[in-house]
Structure 1
Amino acid sequence: MKVLVVGASGATGSQLVSQLLLQQHTVKVVVRSPHKLPESWKNNAHLQMITASILDLTDTEMQDLVSDCHAVASCLGHNLTWKGIYGQPRRLVADATKRLCNAIESNNLEHTTKFVLMNTTGNRNRDLDESISFAQKCVIGLLRILLPPHIDNEKAAEYLRTQIGQNNTAIEWVAVRPDGLINEEKVSDYEIFPSPTRSAIFNAGKVSRINVAHFMASLINDKNLWSTWKGKMPVIYSSSKEN
């Protein structure tokens, strides 16, 4: 299977690429700075590298990019700098999600394409009755005003939920919601839930980036796992003994 990964040079995206290669998929990545990537990627026959900024691609280039892919995974995010948080593009994740989905639909492919979006537990799944405290609602409201990346993540997931929906013949999707991300070297036990089991603001859990990558790769690779979570927004935590 050929998988396109955008945001591949990021901390989680790079782990996802490694997991997909371990599963013997062919991986296509779009990166702005290839010199920062591992040397092993540059010499891997199963990895195709496109040097570009994803939003700078034309519609035709975007269609060509996804035309031979059975799955697309987005690990896009904003750099934690002043420019990354408050500069342009403010809707990096949402705009890339929309344009990639439009490209997939425009190609009229014979197969359905999987779309896996890395999102956040700070974003509620409005298809479910996910109640949060008044205090958390206030904090989330402030985040929408003060931190543009938060609303960007919300809009990306909302596009999949409301515009692609559950019955799209071209695209099936999953939005993975990790809690507090940490760095670990190896995959460990983790748990998946339909909704958060703790407050993302006042009682956040943790999950390693490599575990998130492992779950995203498993969704793409495992038909039964995909069937369980397609059209949903699963939440991932490290196993309770590690939280």
Structure 2
Amino acid sequence: MTVLVVGASGATGSKLVQQLLNQNHKVKVIVRSPKKLPDSWKTNDNLQIITASVLELSDAELKNIVHDCQAVASCLGHNLTFKGIYGQPRRLVTDAARRLCKAIQSNDLQSSTKYVLMNTTGNRNRDLNEPISFAQKGVIGLLRLLLPPHVDNEKAADYLRTQIGQNNNFIEWVAVRPDGLINEDRVTDYEIHPSPTRSAIFNAGKVSRINVAHFMASLINDNKLWNAWKGQMPVIYSKSHLD
């Protein structure tokens, strides 16, 4: 299988790429600069490095990049700097999802392509009844006003839910919602739930980035797992960090 990963130089995206390479997939990555990438990637015949900004590529270029990909995974996010949070592009994750999905559909392939989006538990799945407290609603409202990346995450998932939907002929999708991200060196046991089992604001859980990467790679690799979660927004927690 050939998989395109955007956000591959990030803390979670790099782990996803390594998981996919470990599974012997062919991987394409779009990165602004290859400098941060591991040296082992640069000599790996199964890895193609495309040096570009995903939003600056033309429609024709994106169409050509995804034409032989059976899956696309987005680990894009905003840098935690003033410019990264408040500068442009404010809709990085959403615009990338929109343009990549458009590119996939323009190829008019016979089989559907998997699109896996890394999202956040701070974003509710509006296809389900996910009640939250009045206090959490207030905090989320403030986040929408003060932190553009939160709105970007919401709109990216909403694009998949409402514009791609459940019956698209060309794209199937899953939006993975990790809770508080932490760094660990190895994959450990984790739990997957359709909705959060705790408050993302007042009682957040934790999940390692490598566990998130493992789950995303497993979705791409395992059709049975994919069919169990496609069109949904599963929440992931590391078991070792659950109270």
Question: Does the pair score TM above 0.5?
Answer: yes
The aligned residue for residue 79 of structure 1 is: 79
Q: Deviations over 1:153-176 (max 9, x none)?
A: 000000000000000010000000
Tell whether 2:30 aligns with 1:43. no
Question: The residue matched to 2:241 in structure 1 has which SS?
Answer: coil
The aligned residue for residue 19 of structure 2 is: 19
Take 1:139 and 1:121, find their aligned partners in 2: how far apart are those partners? 14
Q: In structure 2, list runs of 5 or more residues that go unmatched.
A: none
Q: Which amino acid aligns with 1:169?
A: N
TM-score (norm 1): 0.99
TM-score (norm 2): 0.99
Take 1:35 and 1:132, find their aligned partners in 2: how far apart are those partners? 42
Take 1:78 and 1:242, find their aligned partners in 2: how far apart are those partners? 25
Question: The residue matched to 1:162 in structure 2 has which SS?
Answer: helix
Tell whether 2:179 aligns with 1:159. no
Asked if the contact 2:122/2:201 (under 8 Å) is kept, the reply is yes
Question: The residue matched to 1:45 in structure 2 has which SS?
Answer: coil
The aligned residue for residue 242 of structure 1 is: 241
Q: Deviations over 1:106-147 (max 9, x none)?
A: 110111100000000000000100000000000000000100
- CA drift at 1:12: 0.1
Asked if the contact 2:205/2:241 (under 8 Å) is kept, the reply is no
The aligned residue for residue 100 of structure 2 is: 100
Take 1:73 and 1:156, find their aligned partners in 2: how far apart are those partners? 13
Figure out how many residues of one structure are paired with residues of the other and give that number: 242
Q: In structure 1, list runs of 5 or more residues that go unmatched.
A: none
Q: Deviations over 1:73-107 (max 9, x none)?
A: 00000000000000000000000000000110111
When the two chains are superposed, the root-mean-square deviation of aligned CA atoms in Å is 0.5
Question: The residue matched to 1:116 in structure 2 has which SS?
Answer: strand
Tell whether 2:128 aligns with 1:125. no
- CA drift at 1:242: 2.7
Q: Which amino acid aligns with 2:51?
A: T
- CA drift at 1:36: 1.1
Q: Which amino acid aligns with 2:136?
A: Q
The aligned residue for residue 89 of structure 1 is: 89
Q: Find runs of 4+ consecutive structure 1 residues off by over 2 angstroms.
A: none
